[in-house]
A and B are shown apart, each in its own frame.
Chain A
Amino acid sequence: MNPIFALAQADWLSLLPELVLTGVASVILLLEAFTPRLRPAFNGLALAGVVAASVILAQQPMGLFFHGLIESTALTGAFSQIILLATAIGLLSAQGYLKRERLLFGEYPALLLWCSTGLLLLIRGVELVTIFVALELLSVALYGLAAFHRRESVSSEAAIKYFLMGALVSSFVLYGAALVYGETGSTTITGISAALAAGTGSPGLIFLGFLLLVCGFGFKLGLVPFHAWAPDVYQGAPSPFVAFLSVAPKAASAVVLARLVILVASAPTAGDWTKLVSVLAIASMLVGNLFALAQRDIKRMLAYSGIAHMGYLLIPLASPGESSWRPMLVYLVSYTLMNGGAFVLVSMLYAKPGEQHAIANLSGWAFRFPVAAACMAVCMLSLGGIPPTAGFVAKYLVFAHAIQNGNLALALVGIFASLIGVVFYLRVIYMLYMRDEISSPGGLKLDLSGQLAAVLAAVGTVVLGAFPGPFLAWLEAALATL
């Protein structure tokens, strides 16, 4: 019999969300080809697809699928929801931008959806080949999206940089994967951990292999010293896409990173992973906040702040274990809301694409665009980790985890870094609220969908920060199945 039919119904069912996304994307592309009149509706259609996907995702069967290549658990479900949230933000904020830039074509939503398909698969993948292919899938889509503003040379430049770095890194990843496979004889996580437990292979090579993999995904996260691409790409790429780029790939990569670190750290092998992760985290927190302090361009500033936040995100991994998931998950949720929201606002408030997004341009706009300004303020405070915002809850959980596992030093560094951080987050607020206008917004109009996204993000941030109880309880219940 043909082995292709050896696949059970369940396998395809478990793949349903990804299939929905891909399908919708393909449909949009077809519509693009044949009924361009519908272009204004494409993003909406894509959004519907995302919603559908997330609904389906909510009642996914748990377990391993496709011969143990992908799994679906409560965790992957939760992270996948983050991806979908980010995708939604990316779509909502795009509408106005694309219209303004006359880029309202089907390719944007299509690529975005495909990208999130890849992200979902990356999250769920528990086998190196799958992970690698998923990584490439989403990367290729990202390259395309980064260059989406094809009349804007900085957009293409950003894409080129991102692409070259990405290609280089993916070859490193491949080599790392090769080493891991070679030393353990298996490409599945389970197989690898079994081999590691058995102690096969040369520890040096194993460590190197994992190191290459970790660094590869660290690159996607933008950890120092693999971070340098982030500011350039963020600055050059279209803002709504950055709202997605600065969030979704990080969530997925964080999952893989966590998988790998937890996997290898639990095994008897060379290398001090606590030390390694701590070094990465500390470097990211300090460098990110310090460099952001010096930025006058809001997108670069947010890029560096994102780097810093990835440092915070890494803190729970300094003592890898199942307990690391929870804080990371919450941190990513809040990060998605606040950072996504911030970039949505940037894409709305900076009408002119190009190199410069000077923070000073916002001076005194708070009373011109009260809603947007308020949302921006909330996002900034949340990024600064000031209660009652989601940012604080997340930081609280992270620091608590650090203290629980005796990484006091990490917590201290984190705290001082965030003190630096407060300065430039507040700078945005005082530009908005406490300065007189220096540049009039001209005929700048804030599109509805973008504002919707911003308000949703801001409200989510505050609700999650002020009344985290219900959400976290729900999350706890969901994760209880772990």
Chain B
Amino acid sequence: MMNELLDLLLGDTITRFVFFPSFAAFPLLFLGRASARTVKLYALFVALVEFALIALFTASHWGGGTMVARDATLTWLDFGSLRVLYEVGVDGISLPLVLLTGLLLPLVILGSWRGITKHWTGFAASMLFLTTGMLGALVALDLLVFYVFWEVMLIPMYVIIGIWGGDRRVYAAVKFFLFTMAGSLLMLLGILWMAWTYGKLTGVWSFRYEDLLQLQFPLDQQLWLFAAFALAFAIKVPMFPFHTWLPDAHVEAPTGGSVILAGVLLKLGTYGFLRFAIPFFPQAATQLAPWVVGLALVGVIYGALVAWAQTDMKKLVAYSSIAHLGFVMLGLFAFNEIAWQGALLQMVNHGLSTGALFLLVGMLYDRRHTKKFEDFGGLAKTIPWFALMLVFATLASVGLPALNGFVGEFMILIGAWQGGLRWATGIATFGVVLAAVYLLKMLQETIWGPIRKDENRSLKDLSLREVATLLPLCILMLWIGVAPGRFLEPSRPALTSVLATYRAQMSAGPPEAVTLSRAIMTAAPAPTFVAGSPAAGSGSSR
């Protein structure tokens, strides 16, 4: 057991890059007295190493296939009839998001360089633990382990918002925590229920993704379970009625927090739909799709409108996230390949562009300690490079062709249209117009026009560090926008197989009673990861 664990940690495995950050966080305990600079450098170093680990891993698995790598499974907990496996794997669906997480971490550290003024050790530690949580949730192949990571994310985020946040930070932090918790607790019940059902059928509980994937519930149960899962994910995304935690969290959170929040945490909601809610309960998902799509559309339009009404830069960007993720949800519930590809890509895109926007807002905040529009205007005159970056990121977020945002939206919309959601597509497309409306408003209020405040005349332009923070994002935005093909490849097999199973199960229809459906699994290429010995899995990762 223990030496297995060591093997996982030291070998070239997923577990390594999942847990490396939290292990690397321990030395921080002894850096308590060290100067902030040392801590920053250490954190940056760790972040870069982490990124290197992930990059290497990704590079060696970009090829694709339904399952690109998995780790040896350990028993996390085995008590009575309940056993939970620690089992992680990466496939085309999680790979891009993993990479995104790895990319954002160093940028976040860099971006917080000046913004975070106190307790750097704590901040760095929280960030690193948060990273472990996010990566873990992305790679977990056992639902309870997934849930654990899912919850683990909350604590560091709560701390980050609560300690380093703005004036109403505590309110925002608690709100964030409670919203997410409220959703996920029901999901926990759902998970337990599924595991128990599996136990009823086979004699032993199982939380393994593949095992539970075999379960076929009758429609009524599906609806309940789907609701339980969907609530958790919808709050995370966030979808329309559950979104109010997001603006508060974003506005109060420090730059780094916002970037991670927008960049990765929200994606876990959509990822959850794609990974769990839809494959587990295809019929329910299909039956409730109109509602979900409806909410997604409300999100698109509503988010855009509210963003338009904002007077605070960061809040505007926050609401824009709601609109953008509305697109993703639309794509997910169009149930076809193009839309799913687009949705997955759009998750990454949003991470990049919104991340960049938050970083920029943060940089402005570092200089002026305000985010209100009325304090800005005409900045392009004094800090042209900042203006350039802001325009770039904004346009990417607007969905200008040849930048990343467009690709995702285009694929989502065209896929949704093909999926028969014509009206929805039309409405969503109109959301694109609104995106231009509110984002250009931001440019108008901040960088264009005459300089209204004298403080703005003597601003320093972006430092080398800040440029270094933004450049990778900008390059990626352009690259994905111009040649997205490369980025779509790895996810394709996984998506298609999930889709195939979905279609097969739809055609089969819901069973009368709960069944283990091996039949369908054999009929269609299962979305399950390549069966076979863990050794083979980790072997493929070398």
Chain A residues packing against B (C-beta within 8 Å): 323, 326, 330, 367, 370, 381, 386-388, 392-393, 396-397, 399-400, 403-404, 408, 411-412, 415-416, 418-419, 422-423, 426, 429-430, 433-435, 467-470, 472-473, 475-476
Contacts and interface: CB of A to CB of B under 8 A. Distances in A.
A403 B193 contact: yes
Contacts of B199: 404
Nearest to B76: A469
Contacts of B116: none
Interface string B174-188: 100110011001101
A388 B148 contact: yes
A430 B79 contact: no
Interface string B200-236: 0000010000000000000000000000000000000
A422 B82 contact: no
Closest 4 CB pairs of A and B: A387-B148, A434-B162, A472-B79, A415-B185
B78 interface: yes
Interface string B50-78: 00000000000000000000000011111
12 contacts: A370-B32, A387-B148, A392-B148, A403-B193, A404-B81, A412-B189, A415-B186, A415-B189, A419-B182, A426-B177, A467-B76, A468-B76
Interface stretch (B153-161, B275-283, B417-425): B153-161
Nearest to B158: A426
Contacts of B464: none
A430 B176 CA distance: 14
A475 B80 CA distance: 10
A396 B76 CA distance: 13
B170 interface: yes
Interface centre among B154, B178, B192, by most chain A C-beta atoms within 10 angstroms, is B192
A473 B1 CA distance: 11
Interface centre among A386, A397, A399, A416, by most chain B C-beta atoms within 10 angstroms, is A386
Given A415-B185, A434-B163, A469 B77 contact: yes
Contacts of A330: 79
Question: Would you call the interface of chain A mostly helix, strand, loop, or mixed?
Answer: helix
A429 B169 CA distance: 13
Nearest to B159: A433
Given A408-B189, A423-B174, A469-B76, 4 more contacts: A386-B181, A404-B196, A433-B163, A434-B173
A437 to B, nearest CB: 14
B496 to A, nearest CB: 34
B42 interface: no
A370 B155 CA distance: 17
B84 to A, nearest CB: 8
A326 B80 contact: yes
Nearest to B169: A434
Given A367-B119, A387-B151, A430 B189 contact: no
Interface residues of B, number: 41
B295 interface: no
Contacts of B76: 467-469
B193 A419 contact: no
A426 B185 contact: no
Contacts of B32: 370
Contact of B188 (A367, A399, A408, A470): A399
B78 A472 contact: yes
B140 to A, nearest CB: 12
Contacts of B158: 426
B462 interface: no
A473 B78 contact: yes
Contacts, number: 97
Contacts of A433: 159, 162-163
B144 interface: yes
A117 B81 CA distance: 34
B152 interface: yes
A469 B74 contact: yes
Contacts of B487: none
A430 B170 contact: yes
Contact of A393 (B77, B170, B181, B188): B77
Nearest to B185: A415
A423 B192 contact: no
Nearest to A466: B148
A476 B79 contact: yes
Contacts of A404: 81, 196, 199
Contacts of B77: 393, 468-469, 472
A136 B174 CA distance: 45
Contacts of A472: 77-79
Contacts of A419: 178, 181-182, 185
A419 B177 CA distance: 10
A469 B192 contact: no
B151 A399 contact: no
A393 B74 CA distance: 17
B237 to A, nearest CB: 20
Given A419-B185, A423-B178, A470 B82 contact: no
A87 B305 CA distance: 61
Given A367-B119, A399-B189, A422 B181 contact: yes
Given A392-B148, A434-B169, A475 B79 contact: yes
Interface in B423-465: none
Contacts of A416: 185
B147 interface: yes
Nearest to A473: B78
Interface string B127-170: 00000000000000000100110011011001100110000011
A392 B77 CA distance: 12
A367 B32 CA distance: 10
Interface centre among A370, A387, A393, by most chain B C-beta atoms within 10 angstroms, is A387
Interface string B310-330: 000000000000000000000
Contacts of B1: 469-470
B159 A386 contact: no
Contacts of B80: 323, 326, 397, 476
Nearest to A374: B29
A323 B195 CA distance: 18
Nearest to B186: A415
Nearest to A378: B155
A381 B155 contact: yes
A408 B186 CA distance: 12
B198 to A, nearest CB: 12
A250 B236 CA distance: 38
A330 B79 CA distance: 10
B7 to A, nearest CB: 16
A256 B185 CA distance: 31
B173 A386 contact: no
Contacts of A470: 1
A446 B192 CA distance: 42
A445 to B, nearest CB: 19
Contacts of A429: 162
A387 B174 contact: no
